[in-house]
Structure 1
């Protein structure tokens, strides 16, 4: 049994390498590592349970993927087997490799090995991390600074969750699930939030928060910790250099001011000690994304990137797929009536994320009816946060709930979407099976208010994204 992941040997001798095999290659974090090795010329292949748009893209790039759990279809002698914790422990291929002396490791081990010798900017938090990671990666790429980016979402600007650079700087989404981020060595760390989540792993909120403190303490000597203002646990992080960021709280070290809403986006100033940037333009929706940009710009400033270049990069930022993504953007007829509803798709799968999503939609479109179609993700998360989901969803005017998406979990008796529905404090609420949502939308669009316009939102971390294009088509034909 080999003990060390010799990333450089695999990259330096791709013709001799047995390649890297990914079990669960369609995961957003797994796929960026697959793209990393593929870009280095290393043979890459993988398994996933079902085909998705992401796996199709990987296959089109030349990566071989199969969708049947079958040892005979898997490579015979890979140098490295990478698996995600979402894969069942009794998965036939995983068990085969583990029992036959192959080097079998988690995704987090590989990411830790890849970034061992680089300057690392690692972004962690129970929400907000994907957008901030993508913003930082985009700013560094757009300004010419350069970085290797390992993202937890698909950048709309570049259509990928990975890119490389000759500059030995890595921008990495630091995942708290399974304590994966404790294998990273940040030069700059960002902590966006520590809200209770993944209680199936941590047991309670206190344990989760303590692990974030451990992550913060992994910042290298002389490095920087950037933390969301108000996170009291950050006081326990012993890193010497710390700065805080906030949306508009002037007590933070970096914050936004004079925020104006403009055409579904924002214009504002960003202030920090000794200076700042005026008239920053962000052309994506969501007030929380203004706050995310504050953290990203603070890091760009710390890296001494020119302020005007930072502003140009932020203005050009198109967001992350499924993070307040405009599927149908705001548009008005010459007559003044709205052409279509605004259609937003979002990955929100935690009560706090849903609250931020719906509050942002309400602030951008205060006169419009807001309808959200939400798919709960995981039985354990639904069990732990049913009341919180209900409170957040009550911010909408109408709610359609799908059944729970189980992902890696087996059903838990008594845990279902009805738990959430019962506590939603609005009149118009219902549960619709996923396969019936398209026909539900066909009826719904007949009632649309085209004078004031409406906002339709799909949200969730399961497979609700497969409904986005069919629903878009129905709305545009209304």
Structure 2
């Protein structure tokens, strides 16, 4: 395996996919010359080019002119891909972003953030807090910052904060010094038979943390950690009488109020007004702050237990991202694709108290296997929303037919009392009929529902859609 800190030339296949993009930007920060192509997501590629990466939207899959030192590709790219076949013939080393991430965790002290939900938000905020304390930190974060000038890269980091994905047990390849577990719920039925098998994988992940490291988790996962440092986050519905860390490593955190964390709202490239902290999950904030404290960030400087600081925090795309206004409705875009995430999104949306107090949700299920395995929970989560519509399932990494995706979503819509939309083209009319000016229109899902922006804001963000190599 090549040393990621020894720069060379890297060509990326599926450059706009979340994992490859995040790794490409890290390598660029380390001094690599980055080039590559993707069959979709020209908007993502445009933002990558603005940061100096020579990537292009290329439906034809054209390749390099000058032989690269490394071919970087997503696990979704098969060996039969023309670029991979050419690399094999020319003797170009090949690696996935998981391969490089595993290598990076051997070379730098690493905090790995794992959990069914909240990995990107927690990791991004942790990078921010550590940087504010003066640490040289680089972050591997799957979600993009809304601020187009913000970068998680650093040319010579002393510390890495990485998002550790449980899909296909990828996180078991990492060698972190420290770990954060934001929570564990059954997901990824294409990788795990049941919740017990998933929990077993998380336990093995925690066991990879050395005794001199630190594990930050809720109390119920404390038993997994070694005899080393184990920081426990204990949540309370109301602000506890005693907040902050205790000698036994327990941090008491109230969820009932008192959190004031200034963030920046970006619409396009223009900075707008400050956004209240509830756009961030309080659980994510708590895990990030506790992890930062365990890394030596002064709690008094952070003011994290009583009076939160007014600190600009990098917001992330598709994480309760306020996109703009469409016919008087506030459009919100979110990555939620699990029943618990949909419930959290509902309550987060309710906190804002939009002028019309109404909300319309358009949800695109992600994977048939996930939708079937969690069907009843999805139906219950959708029933919370005042108006909801369901698009056909996005079959990432699956061979399901369009007919199967449509039938499953139609069944979910019937079970939840939602409206079935046959495609994205039906979205504007449904939104116009089911919501009114002053309401919020929330887009949710992990597939290509972000293309809805093209329909609501034509000309502002062209996108031909998500192709297989770009699928999250």
Contact 1:190 1:227 in 2 (8 A): yes
SS at match of 1:368: coil
Matched, 1:193 2:183: yes
Match of 1:260 among 257, 261, 271: 257
Tell me how many residue pairs correspond in the alignment: 428
Decide which moves more: 113-122 or 84-93: 84-93
Matched, 1:91 2:81: yes
Q: How does 1:168-207 map to 2 (within 5 A)?
A: 168-207=158-197
Considering Cα pairs closer than 8 Å and 6+ residues apart, tell me whether 1 or 2 has the greater RCO: 2
User: How far does residue 376 in structure 1 lie from its aligned partner after superposition?
Assistant: 1.1
Q: How does 1:396-411 map to 2 (within 5 A)?
A: 396-411=385-400
**Aligned match of 2:344:** 356
Change in Cα spacing, 1:305 to 1:238, as seen in structure 2 (3 Å) is: closer
| Structure 1 Cα separation of the partners of residues 447 and 64 of structure 2 | 26
Matched, 1:67 2:58: yes
**Aligned match of 1:271:** none
Decide which moves more: 412-421 or 352-361: 412-421
Q: How does 1:64-463 map to 2 (within 5 A)?
A: 64-68=55-59, 70=61, 73-74=63-64, 77-98=67-88, 101-157=91-147, 159-160=149-150, 162-164=152-154, 166-231=156-221, 234-248=222-236, 253-257=250-254, 259-260=256-257, 266-267=259-260, 283-286=276-279, 289-311=281-303, 315-328=311-324, 340-365=328-353, 368-411=357-400, 414-415=404-405, 416-424=408-416, 426=417, 429-444=419-434, 448=436, 453-463=438-448
Cα deviation per residue 1:32-70 (whole Å; 9 max; x = unaligned)?
211122233322222322133211222342413352454
**Aligned match of 1:468:** 453
Contact 1:267 1:282 in 2 (8 A): no
**Aligned match of 1:277:** none
Decide which moves more: 201-210 or 348-357: 201-210
| Structure 1 Cα separation of the partners of residues 323 and 37 of structure 2 | 30
Change in Cα spacing, 1:289 to 1:67, as seen in structure 2 (3 Å) is: same
| Structure 2 Cα separation of the partners of residues 189 and 118 of structure 1 | 14
Contact 2:30 2:155 in 1 (8 A): no
User: How far does residue 323 in structure 1 lie from its aligned partner after superposition?
Assistant: 1.1
Change in Cα spacing, 1:208 to 1:5, as seen in structure 2 (3 Å) is: farther
| Structure 2 Cα separation of the partners of residues 302 and 217 of structure 1 | 19
Matched, 1:33 2:26: no
Contact 1:349 1:460 in 2 (8 A): yes
| Structure 1 Cα separation of the partners of residues 89 and 157 of structure 2 | 39
Decide which moves more: 176-185 or 310-319: 310-319
Change in Cα spacing, 1:75 to 1:393, as seen in structure 2 (3 Å) is: farther
Change in Cα spacing, 1:33 to 1:229, as seen in structure 2 (3 Å) is: same
Contact 2:135 2:158 in 1 (8 A): no
Change in Cα spacing, 1:94 to 1:202, as seen in structure 2 (3 Å) is: farther
**Aligned match of 1:24:** 14
SS at match of 1:144: coil
Change in Cα spacing, 1:327 to 1:206, as seen in structure 2 (3 Å) is: same
Contact 2:360 2:431 in 1 (8 A): no
Cα deviation per residue 1:404-444 (whole Å; 9 max; x = unaligned)?
222332215745311311210x4x53324112223433445
| Structure 2 Cα separation of the partners of residues 78 and 178 of structure 1 | 28
TM-score, normalised on structure 2? 0.81
User: How far does residue 375 in structure 1 lie from its aligned partner after superposition?
Assistant: 0.9
User: How far does residue 100 in structure 1 lie from its aligned partner after superposition?
Assistant: 5.5
Decide which moves more: 312-321 or 164-173: 312-321
Change in Cα spacing, 1:40 to 1:186, as seen in structure 2 (3 Å) is: closer
Contact 2:11 2:35 in 1 (8 A): yes
TM-score, normalised on structure 1? 0.80
Over the aligned positions, Cα root-mean-square deviation in angstroms equals 3.0
| Structure 1 Cα separation of the partners of residues 232 and 37 of structure 2 | 41
**Aligned match of 1:53:** 43
SS at match of 1:462: coil
The gaps in structure 2 that reach 5 residues or longer are: 243-248, 262-273, 460-472
User: How far does residue 160 in structure 1 lie from its aligned partner after superposition?
Assistant: 4.5
